[in-house]
Structure 1
Amino acid sequence: MTQTALLVIDVQESFRVRPNWSEVNHPDIADRVNRLVRAARANGDLVVWVLHTEPGTGGAFDPANGHVRFIDGLEPAEGEPLLTKTSHNAFTTTNLQQLLTQHGVREVVVSGIRTEQCCETTARVASDLGYDVTFVTEATATTPLPHWTMPADATLADVLADPRTLSPETIVERTEYVLAGRFATIRTLDEVAPPVLAS
């Protein structure tokens, strides 16, 4: 039985069509996640793919607009489960927990977009459900986070000019602070997916 599952959360084109993608901390997120995917497959771990959808909204996450698909270079292998969710965490609106139970999974490795939102929320829920959680911050990505009073239609320039906006670096630091020792173990990409030594 598989003991570990890699969760690939929302690494989808929906984010790349938004203006704030130009400020993402890890534009190479697909390559980073692919390293984890290759390592997981080599270890015989379960790889679970998750896409976020907001049907009927007309936005970047509405499946009707064609952006709810993995970023180029990422592709589930035959037999790897693909779940679509409508909540921030990967459990509430999917059968993820049932799937993990069927595969005997006790540890989940979290990767994806966005660090502080769907990834962090999934890590917290997984921990509360009793899983050991490894959070690979380097294989997550996020963009500057505006203050909650900023209008929804504010331009990227307005968001970046506001001194209250949190940088991706600050977001990452806060996420690691709140997860570490409580909800997850923070591990680096090299720790979870060691680089292949050149022959």
Structure 2
Amino acid sequence: MATIEPKSESAADEPTTGRTVLPGAPPFTVDDLLEFPDDGNRYELFNGSLLVSPSPAPPHQRALYRLQRILDDASPPELEPLSTVNVRLTDKDFVIPDLVVVPEEASETVGLMFSPADLLLAVEVGSPSTIMVDEGTKAILYAKAGVPSYWRIELANEPTLYVHELNGDTYDPPVAYKAGDVAHLTTPFAVGFDPAELVRGRR
């Protein structure tokens, strides 16, 4: 994995082999991100602090794909589930949710980034490297931004779906659905599934 370093004035003549040198210095803004090199890294911002996530493992990708298909089959025609989109929460908070549900009209007219007002649901599929951010920081940010529903899926031990519903500017304690329990949900639309479906083999 590349080493990520802010670019300093003295770094102009330094060799950059084996590392990515970023323009600017923390705290970063979303506008700063637009100047970052396209180096294959996934950058997110939390109050100006940079988070670089590794590429997800196959179980994560499998669960995400299966969930998107479940939601796509259940969604009304005016809504659309999309994976790994850019969301600008504030000038210093930028996230790339694993999955969102947005109005189809918004997905057709949005530019580079969605606003939190477009999101009816945000979903994060947890991994050992992201669980603390998904459970804490992102839940706080999504709630403050007014995202009505936030789902967190943990795959370790047994797949579990945690459903957070907005109450004011915070989420109520999550309702957990473990493998073997069918989650019957109504927000952002009616859908039901067993979290175990997200990790089963294709046959």
More RCO (CA 8 Å, sep 6+): 1
Q: TM-score scaled by structure 1?
A: 0.29
Computing the radius of gyration over CA atoms, which structure comes out larger, 1 or 2? 2
| TM-score, structure 2 normalization | 0.28
Greater strand fraction, Structure 1 or Structure 2: 2
